[in-house]
């Protein structure tokens, strides 16, 4: 009996090996599709959170006795950190590995979502939203880098990029609908808890099916330029956030715009590893330091 079972198992393994040898391309395509799904899931959930929370604000206000300003930072704390850290997260992903950073970003976002759902007081909810923003800022640019590494063919890459961009539109549009359903049927906390299983699935699929992109170990992060970029993005985001409520001529908004201009100039004058000179937008342009260092009369 044991010998028959052994023969049957060996025969099954042999058949599976033959099938795998006959259809390696099909298996490769299936793995690529699952990896693409993992990236899109991670991107979807981060964009979904930019709009889903809006439906829950009236309930949050009643439970915590929050003011309009308090609720504004429940929404904008996420958007501010998200926007400010996008550039630096992309450069860090190039140096440390996009897959590693993408998984880390999704993990931070998922943990932040769980903390939002269990927040006992308003300040804890606001802090957890900031943590969500950090995770989203890490996950989004690294997802694009993984996408470019996954599809080397230009036609397939363009198609994948179009789908990836469409995911953002679907997520942003679905936010209010999904949020209304969850708040009406369950509780406001469910708009955050819904991110947890999606984030976990995306992390597991990424670890299993997504391959790491090449690292640029010799690349310098250029911290002064990164800091200037963070300040510029944060300043302009604050200006647009407070412009509608405080007025576009308020000292806070004008100061934020001024800080944005100063930080942008500092960012431009620094060495910018996040935007290599061979990029299409910068092709043919010279760095200001190069122009200063060239002898007079040379073009």
Instruction: Take residue 87 and report the two structure tokens written for it.
Output: 């550039």
234 and 172 in a single domain? The answer is: no
Residue 152 lies in a domain: yes
Same domain, 90 and 124: yes
Q: Looking at the structure, do residues 83 and 205 belong to the same domain, yes or no? A: yes
Q: Report the chain's C-alpha Rg in angstroms.
A: 24
Res 244: pLDDT: 66
Q: What's the pLDDT tens digit per position in 99-119? A: 889 999 999 999 999 999 999
Q: Could you tell me if 104 and 166 lie in one domain?
A: yes
The residue among 198, 216, 234 that closes a domain is 216
**What's the pLDDT score for residue 299?**
44
In-domain check, residue 284: no
Of the residues 184, 216, 248, which one is the last residue of a structural domain? 216
Q: What is the pLDDT of residue 236?
A: 81
Residue 25: inside a domain:
no
* Residue 9 within any structural domain of the chain: no
Residue 35, C-beta contacts closer than 8 angstroms, at least 6 positions apart: 150, 205, 206, 209, 210, 211
- pLDDT at residue number 147: 84
DSSP of 102-161 = HHHHHHHHHHHHHHHHT-SSHHHHHHHHHHHHHHHHHHHHHHHHHHHHH--SHHHHHHHH
Same domain, 36 and 90: yes
The tally of domains found in the chain comes to 2
- Its domain, for residue 142, covers 31-216
pLDDT at 11: 52
pLDDT for the residue 1: 53
**Confidence (pLDDT) at 274:** 46
CA-wise closest residue to 126 among 70, 185, 205, 65: 70
Residue 229 lies in a domain: yes
pLDDT recorded at residue 132: 93
Check residue 26 and give its pLDDT. Answer: 47
CATH code of the domain containing 143: 1.20.1250.20
pLDDT in tens, the chain (299 residues): 555 545 555 555 455 444 444 444 445 677 788 888 888 898 899 888 888 888 888 898 888 888 877 788 888 888 888 877 877 777 777 777 888 899 999 999 999 999 999 999 998 999 999 999 999 999 988 888 888 888 877 788 788 888 888 888 898 888 889 888 898 888 899 999 999 999 999 999 999 888 877 676 666 666 777 788 778 877 887 787 777 667 788 888 888 889 888 888 887 776 544 444 444 434 444 444 444 454 444 44
What's the pLDDT at 66?
81
Q: What is the tens place of the pLDDT at every residue in 30-52?
A: 778 888 888 889 889 988 888 88
Domain co-membership, 193 together with 235: no
CB atoms within 10 A of CB 273: 16
206 falls within a domain: yes
149 with 73, same domain: the answer is yes
What's the whole-model pTM score?
Answer: 0.73
Q: Tell me whether residue 251 is in a domain.
A: yes
The last residue of a domain, from among 199, 216, 233 = 216
Residue 5 lies in a domain: no
Alpha helices of 23-67 — where are they, by DSSP H? Answer: 24-48, 57-64
Q: Are residues 62 and 117 in the same domain?
A: yes
Is residue 104 located within the same domain as residue 51?
Answer: yes
Same domain, residue pair 151 and 191: yes
CA distance 199 to 105: 10
Write down the pLDDT at residue 224.
76
**Based on the domain organization, do 37 and 90 belong to the same domain?**
yes
Check whether residue 53 and residue 116 sit in a common domain.
Answer: yes
């Amino acid at each position: 009996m044991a010998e028959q079972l052994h023969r049957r198992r060996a025969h099954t393994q042999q058949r599976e090996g033959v099938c795998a040898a006959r259809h390696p391309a099909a298996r490769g395509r299936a793995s690529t599709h699952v990896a693409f799904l993992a990236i899109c899931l991670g991107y979807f959930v981060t964009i979904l959170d930019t709009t889903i929370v809006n439906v829950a604000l009236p309930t949050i206000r009643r439970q915590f006795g929050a003011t309009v300003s308090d609720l504004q930072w429940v929404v904008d704390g996420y958007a501010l950190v998200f926007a400010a850290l996008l550039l630096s997260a992309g450069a860090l992903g190039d140096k440390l590995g996009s897959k590693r950073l993408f998984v880390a970003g999704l993990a931070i976002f998922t943990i932040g979502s769980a903390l939002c759902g269990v927040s006992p007081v308003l300040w804890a909810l606001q802090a957890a939203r900031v943590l969500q923003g950090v995770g989203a800022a890490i996950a989004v640019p690294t997802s694009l880098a993984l996408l470019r590494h996954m599809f080397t063919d230009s036609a397939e890459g363009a198609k994948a990029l179009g789908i990836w961009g469409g995911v953002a539109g679907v997520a942003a549009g679905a936010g209010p609908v999904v949020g209304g359903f969850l708040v009406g049927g369950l509780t406001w906390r469910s708009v955050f808890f819904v991110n947890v299983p999606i984030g976990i699935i995306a992390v597991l699929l990424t670890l299993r099916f997504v391959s790491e992109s090449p690292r640029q170990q010799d690349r310098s992060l250029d911290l002064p330029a990164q800091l200037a970029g963070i300040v510029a993005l944060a300043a302009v985001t604050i200006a647009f956030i407070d412009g509608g409520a405080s007025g576009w001529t308020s000292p806070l908004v004008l100061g934020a715009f001024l800080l944005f201009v100063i930080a942008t100039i500092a960012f431009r004058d620094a060495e910018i590893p996040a935007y290599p000179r061979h990029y299409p937008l910068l092709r043919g342009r010279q760095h200001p330091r190069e122009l200063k260092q060239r002898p007079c009369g040379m073009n």
